[in-house]
């Protein structure tokens, strides 16, 4: 079993010293390799992109330079043609075929022709041209129709040879047209070499260029390394739209005919004018091949490093395992109790950390020897002392047990006293609550007494006001009674006057009747008097009727005033009775007022007495609570003392038990130390 464990431990140490570091190193090398490959890949791709952009810009600049150069050369030729034409015009007065031949030779011009306005060559340095007539589609007629004084043709191939010529036309003051032709084979070849098509084909010949093209602003391929694609409409190509249409640089990566390409489009500007864009497709195969090669190299280098480091770790781990085994065997011997064995001199002479560890083990072995000797001596002394301590602790435990019983009885009495005191406190608290309730009732009674006093005062005020109003009512009734009596007397006077008016009316009526009789006797002379007498009679009858009406009214007034007098007499009696009742009520309220004031004084005395009882009750409660607290403290103190004595007793017992255990341990320690060899 021990050997199996040792093998397991040895394998575990080897695992930690070899396998785990190798795994870490492998992961580190793998990470470094992957990271370096990615960095190199990114670096190569960035360099390729940068080179592609630079190459595209150079191609665009080359196109611009070539175009400008060709335009400059073309302008120089056209200027030369114009100069020759001016020389011809200056010699037009002495014009002849020989003159043109001399001018052509001196000015290095291949052909000079003078056309009439009808298109016929009338003079030429070449005799075969004389008499040739230009058709209507000729540039000569085009210039004349448009009214131009000068026209320059593009370089064109001769119809009779493979040579290329540059022709220019100038109208002379006489109306004739001077044609000058210069041999332009060199310029044509130069134009061809500098053309867009030649440029893209030369670019496509580079090893890493997959394709090249030039697109104008109409988004058509004006030049392409694949001639079959010349003139192709590229309006649906995003890069062409951006570069050729908008004049911006555009880059992208995609697969073209199975090849990963990096596409670069750069706008082309000629004399500040945007004319199109150059498009290059750069192969990325070389970059990926370089990345793959670098990955393989890094992998091989990492594998070699891994093997070298693994070998070094294996050698070092074997050395470590040997030293560890020696240390382990020595520790096993020490663990068995043998402290007499020592390390070999070879191991003692080691100057590394293992030498320090072996020195520390030797120091530990020496310390353990001294400690075992001290333990053996001390254990004997402890055994003797523990026996004495056991006997003493047993005696102390017996005495403490008796003290605990006595204190327990005292604690029981203190607890009874505390309970009785608590009950007294509860009863006094109940009495205090009743006193507080009586105090509250007395307070409410004081409030009610105050309200009754207030209502009594208000009632007295109301009675006082009622007495005043009753007196006023009686006075008013007397005045009304007197007024009615006076009215009755006035009615009697009116009745007497009415009787007198009635008597006068009757007498007037008799006088009117007598007057009428006298008028009748007088005949016609008495008619006027008869009329007056009739009117007087009518007035007398009306007065009699009015007096009768007045009499009826006076009778009714007299009757009503009589009733009013009777009623007022009864009202007067009721007023006198009411006045007496009010006076009696006022007397009763005065008696109530006296009784309420006496009751208020008694209530105040009860309130003062209740407050005194409240104060005494609080003092008694404080005293009882103080006694209760003292009783509880005494009970708690006795309980604590009892508990302390019990704890002390238990401690004594524990000390006794511990002493016995200590004695046993001392014996066991002596037996254990006896196993060591020192």
Q: Tell me what the mean pLDDT of segment 425-451 comes to.
A: 72
Q: What is the pTM of this model?
A: 0.40
Residue 526 has pLDDT above 80, yes or no: no
Question: Is 333 part of any domain?
Answer: no
How much is the pLDDT for 385?
64
Q: Tell me, yes or no, whether 201 and 189 share the same domain.
A: no
Last residue of a domain, one of 290, 307, 324: 307
Residue 325 lies in a domain: no
For residue 361, is it within any domain? no
Q: What is the pLDDT of residue 516?
A: 73
pLDDT tops 70 at residue 257: yes
Query: Is 50 exceeded by the pLDDT of residue 281?
Result: yes
| 243, 111: one domain | no
Domain that holds residue 104: 91-193
Average pLDDT over residues 139-152: 88
Residue 362 lies in a domain: no
Pairing of strands 221-224, 156-157: unpaired
> Are 216 and 222 a contacting pair, CB within 8 Å?
yes
Identify the pLDDT of residue 2.
43
pLDDT score recorded for residue 642: 65
Domain with 639 in it: what CATH number?
1.10.287.950
Q: Based on the domain organization, do 187 and 201 belong to the same domain? A: no
My answer on whether 591 and 578 are in the same domain is yes
Q: How many residues in total does the chain contain? A: 678
What pLDDT does 113 receive?
92
pLDDT of 78 = 86
CB atoms within 10 A of CB 638: 19
3-state SS class at 231: coil
Quote helix, strand, coil % in the chain, to nearest 5: 75, 10, 10
The whole-number pLDDT of residue 184 equals 81
Helical spans, DSSP H, in 155-220: 185-194, 196-204
Whole-number pLDDT of residue 199: 80
Residue 257 sits in the same domain as residue 169: no
With a cut of 50, say whether residue 5 has pLDDT above it: no
The arithmetic mean of pLDDT across residues 555-583, rounded, is 72
Same-domain check for residues 146 and 276: no
Mean pLDDT score, 108-131: 90
Displacement of CA 105 from its chain's centroid (Å): 92
Q: Is residue 123 part of a domain?
A: yes
Of all helices (H) and strands (E), which one includes residue 512? helix 353-522
Q: Which of 569, 557, 555 is nearest to 481 (CA)?
A: 569
Closest Cα partner for 240 from 208, 267, 272?
A: 267
User: Does residue 485 have a pLDDT over 90?
Assistant: no
pLDDT per residue over 358-370, tens digit each? Answer: 777 777 777 777 7
Q: Is the model more confident about 567 or about 194?
A: 567
Report the distance separating Cα 629 and Cα 622, nearest Å. Answer: 10
The whole-number pLDDT of residue 420 equals: 66
CATH assignment at residue 26: 3.30.450.20
Nearest to 56 by CA among 239, 326, 226: 239
Banded pLDDT at 532 (limits 50, 70, 90): confident
* Claim to verify: residue 154 and residue 184 sit in the same structural domain: yes
Q: How far apart are CA 103 and CA 81, in angstroms?
A: 12
Which pLDDT band holds residue 3 (cuts at 50, 70, 90)? very low
Q: Which two tokens stand for residue 659?
A: 């002493």
- For the CA atoms of 397, 403, 409, 414, what is the dihedral angle to 10 degrees? -120
Confidence band for 4, pLDDT divided at 50, 70 and 90: very low
Which phi-psi region, left, alpha or beta, contains residue 219 (left: φ > 0; alpha: ψ -120 to 50)? Answer: left
Tell me, yes or no, whether 588 and 659 share the same domain: yes
User: By the 8 A CB rule, do 124 and 114 touch?
Assistant: yes
Residues 28 and 122 both lie in one domain: no
Q: Kindly state whether residues 103 and 41 are assigned to the same domain.
A: no
**Which of 167, 193, 219 is the endpoint of a domain?**
193
Identify whether 82 is part of a domain.
no
Same domain, yes or no: 443 and 302: no
Report for 115-119, 258-262, 530-534, 610-614: range of highest mean pLDDT: 115-119
Buried b or exposed e, range 371-387, using 16+ CB within 10 angstroms? ebeebbeebeebbeebe
Residue 6 has pLDDT above 60, yes or no: no
| Total domains present in the chain | 3
Q: What is the mean pLDDT of residues 629-637?
A: 69
Q: What is the percent of the chain where pLDDT is above 70?
A: 77
312-342 pLDDT per residue, tens: 877 777 777 777 777 777 788 777 777 677 7
Given 124, 158, 193, the domain boundary residue is 193
Q: Per residue in 381-410, pLDDT tens?
A: 666 666 666 666 666 666 666 666 766 666
pLDDT of residue 48: 72
Residue 228 C-beta-side C-alpha neighbours within 13 Å: 0
Q: What is the pLDDT of residue 472?
A: 77
Same domain, 229 and 110: no
Domain membership flag for residue 602? yes
Share of the chain above pLDDT 90, in %: 4
pLDDT at 170: 93
Query: Which contacts (CB < 8 Å, 24+ apart) does range 503-507 have?
Result: 504/543, 505/540, 505/541, 505/543, 505/544, 505/547, 506/540, 506/544
Q: Is residue 611 part of a domain?
A: yes
């Amino acid at each position: 079993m021990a050997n199996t464990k040792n093998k397991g431990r040895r394998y575990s140490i080897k695992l930690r010293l070899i396998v785990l570091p190798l795994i870490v190193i492998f992961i580190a090398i793998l990470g470094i390799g992957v990271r370096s490959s990615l960095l190199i890949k990114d670096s190569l791709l960035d360099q390729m992109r940068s080179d592609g952009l630079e190459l595209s810009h150079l191609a665009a600049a080359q196109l611009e330079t070539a175009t400008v150069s060709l335009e400059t050369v073309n302008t120089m030729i056209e200027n030369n043609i114009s100069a020759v034409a001016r020389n011809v015009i200056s010699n037009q007065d002495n014009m002849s075929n020989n003159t043109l031949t001399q001018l052509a030779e001196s000015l290095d011009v291949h052909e000079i022709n003078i056309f009439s306005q009808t298109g016929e060559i009338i003079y030429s340095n070449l005799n075969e041209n004389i008499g040739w007539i230009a058709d209507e589609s000729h540039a000569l007629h085009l210039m004349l129709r448009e009214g131009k004084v000068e026209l320059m043709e593009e370089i064109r191939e001769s119809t009779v040879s493979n040579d290329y010529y540059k022709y220019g036309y100038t109208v002379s003051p006489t109306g004739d047209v001077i044609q000058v032709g210069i041999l332009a084979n060199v310029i044509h070849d130069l134009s061809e070499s500098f053309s867009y098509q030649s440029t893209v084909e030369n670019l496509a010949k580079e090893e890493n260029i997959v394709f090249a093209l030039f697109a104008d602003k109409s988004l058509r391929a004006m030049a392409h390394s694949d001639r079959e694609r010349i003139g192709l409409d590229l309006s649906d190509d995003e890069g062409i739209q951006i570069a050729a249409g908008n004049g911006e640089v555009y880059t992208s990566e995609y697969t073209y005919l199975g090849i990963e390409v990096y596409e670069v489009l750069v706008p082309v500007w000629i004399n500040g004018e945007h004319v199109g864009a150059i498009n290059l497709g750069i192969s990325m195969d070389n970059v990926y091949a370089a990345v793959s090669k670098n990955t393989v190299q890094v992998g091989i280098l990492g594998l070699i490093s891994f093997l070298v480091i693994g070998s070094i770790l294996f050698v070092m781990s074997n050395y470590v395992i040997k030293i560890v085994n020696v240390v382990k065997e020595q520790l096993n011997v020490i663990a068995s109790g043998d402290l007499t064995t020592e390390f070999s001199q070879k191991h003692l002479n080691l100057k590394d950390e293992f030498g320090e560890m072996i020195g520390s083990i030797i120091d530990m072995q020496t310390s353990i020897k001294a400690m075992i000797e001290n333990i053996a001596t001390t254990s004997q002394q402890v055994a003797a002392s523990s026996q004495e301590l056991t006997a003493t602790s047993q005696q102390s435990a017996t005495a403490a047990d008796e003290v605990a019983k006595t204190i327990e009885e005292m604690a029981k009495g203190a607890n009874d006293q505390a309970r009785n005191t608590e009950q007294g406190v509860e009863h006094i608290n109940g009495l205090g609550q009743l006193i507080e309730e009586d105090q509250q009732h007395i307070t409410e009674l004081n409030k009610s007494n105050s309200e009754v006093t207030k209502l009594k005062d208000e009632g007295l005020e109301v009675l006082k006001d009622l007495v005043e109003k009753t007196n006023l009512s009686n006075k008013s009734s007397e005045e009304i009674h007197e007024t009615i009596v006076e009215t009755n007397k006035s009615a009697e006077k009116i009745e007497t006057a009415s009787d007198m008016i009635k008597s006068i009316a009757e007498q007037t009526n008799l006088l009117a009747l007598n007057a009428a009789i006298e008028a009748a006797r007088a005949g016609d002379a008495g008619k006027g008097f008869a009329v007056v007498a009739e009117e007087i009679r009518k007035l007398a009858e009306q007065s009699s009727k009015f007096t009768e009406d007045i009499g009826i009214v006076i009778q009714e007034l007299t009757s009503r005033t009589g009733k009013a007098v009777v009623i007022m007499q009864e009202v007067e009696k009721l007023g006198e009775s009411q006045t007496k009742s009010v006076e009696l009520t006022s007397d009763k309220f005065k008696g109530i007022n006296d009784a309420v004031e006496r009751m208020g004084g008694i209530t105040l005395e009860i309130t003062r007495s209740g407050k005194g009882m409240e104060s005494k009750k609080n003092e008694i409660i404080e005293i009882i609570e103080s006694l209760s607290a003292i009783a509880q403290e005494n009970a708690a103190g006795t309980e604590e003392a009892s508990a302390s004595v019990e704890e002390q007793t238990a401690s004594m017992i524990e000390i006794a038990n511990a002493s016995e255990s200590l004695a046993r341990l001392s014996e066991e320690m002596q037996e254990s130390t006896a196993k060591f060899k020192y």
